[in-house]
Homo-oligomer: A and B are copies of this chain.
Amino acid sequence: MTAVPSALAIDAGRLWSDILSTARIGAYGETGMNRLALSASDGAVRGWFTAECRALGCTVEVDGVGNMFATLPGTEPGLAAIAVGSHLDTQPAGGRFDGILGVLAGVEILRVLHAAGRRLRHPFTVINWTNEEGSRFSPAMMGSGVFCGVHDLETILVRKDKDGVTVGEALAAIGYRGAHAPGHLPLAAYLELHIEQGPVLEADGSAVGVVSGVQGLCWLDVRIRGTEAHAGAFPMNLRADALVSAAKVVLVAEAVALKHPPGVATVGHIHAMPNSRNVVPGEVRLEIDMRHPEAVGLAAIEAALTADIERLVPGAEVSVVWRKAPVVFDAALRGVIRQEAEALGLSAIDMVSGAGHDAAHVAGRVPAAMIFIPSREGLSHNEREFSSPQQCAEGADLLLRSVLRADELHPERS
């Protein structure tokens, strides 16, 4: 694939072997993962990460929310760290790549640097963020949110899982309630390698995606009231069928999104009452997710959909339950990734992340960027999630080269 020689290159087989061997910790089904945040298996894989990084010359620090920072010292004193990372926790029926690839690629870079006896000018840190998935404890992207000051540590430590166990108790149970205060480690730059979790790269035939940012998001709840009635005894022309109204909302949500590319709108949740075959539905509730990479585009989708709902279903109650502004990644880092992809001979496209990532929190504090590799069939949060050994290696090689370039880019930061 690449004709460009490189002094340093990752070992595709070694990276793949790390993916397969650590996937046994919290395995689910044939090829899936169930490694919930702060579970026993999360504790076990954290132990593996600590041991590997220490063996490669790193110090490993843990902060109050359990974020792990494996740092190889730099050659110039006083510089902030260049960091890579992602998360080792998974969904309850998740895959072997989501999050995991970003951390293991960091470990692989440590192996390459260690084998070459090479140090960066900056400290080089591999981060394992606590509870990115949010499956056991809400909110998602918890650890990076605490590190970046988006969430208050004390508030987060008392969040409970469905069994009433707090984050603080779960951290203590696996021995990862660390002493470091949130945000203790100064960062000069942050890079995250992740699987796409969507079908764009595969459909496009591209090797990597240079992620320009994370889409902004707006969540709407819609409540539609009709008149519950006997499905046999109520004539069509006297009905107020809440599900018929809801169907119009579902279709107009799709139509509005198609008119505002690359925006998306999804009605993922529908609840009809009483939801009985022979009763005309008296009430329906919908949950809508809208996203767009630009604030102005997101506002346009929200305005158009809200107006269309009011026009099609007068009296429908529409409420905004969450808004999140789009994140734009660092232009200089994105430029570096693009150049290095070209140097490696990897076909690359600019793309927006539809999903949230730890990098989105970090981008609010320091220059940050992301690299995507293809997901087979766009599948994720699924045991069939798959990226090939070559795809993983290409992403990790691009991450390594980008780190080396970032090490030159940010001499002034400390």
Which of B230, B248, B262 sits near A235, CB closer than 8 Å? B262
Residues of chain B with a CB closer than 8 A to A254's CB: 236, 241, 244
Residues of chain B with a CB closer than 8 A to A262's CB: 235
Which of B228, B236, B269, B380 sits near A233, CB closer than 8 Å? B380
The answer on a CB contact under 8 Å between B276 and A268 is yes
A355 CB-CB contact with B under 8 Å:
yes
The answer on a CB contact under 8 Å between A233 and B287 is no
Which of A197, A219, A236, A272: most chain B CB closer than 10 A? Answer: A236
* Chain B residue with Cβ nearest A231: B266
Given A196-B233, A264-B232, residue A270 in contact with residue B250 (CB < 8 A): no
The answer on a CB contact under 8 Å between A289 and B277 is yes
Which of B269, B279, B355 sits near A268, CB closer than 8 Å? B279
Q: Report the minimum CB–CB distance from A340 to chain B (whole Å).
A: 24
Residues of chain B with a CB closer than 8 A to A228's CB: 382
The answer on a CB contact under 8 Å between B275 and A268 is yes
Residues of chain B with a CB closer than 8 A to A234's CB: 198-199, 264, 354, 378
The answer on a CB contact under 8 Å between B215 and A232 is yes
Given A198-B234, A236-B257, residue A281 in contact with residue B268 (CB < 8 A): yes
A353 CB-CB contact with B under 8 Å:
yes
The answer on a CB contact under 8 Å between A354 and B269 is no
* Chain B residue with Cβ nearest A238: B199
Residues of chain B with a CB closer than 8 A to A263's CB: 236
CB contacts under 8 Å to B, within A206-235, are 215, 217, 219, 228-235
Given A251-B248, A354-B234, residue A243 in contact with residue B261 (CB < 8 A): no
Q: CA separation between A258 and B281, bound complex, in Å?
A: 17
The answer on a CB contact under 8 Å between A354 and B232 is yes
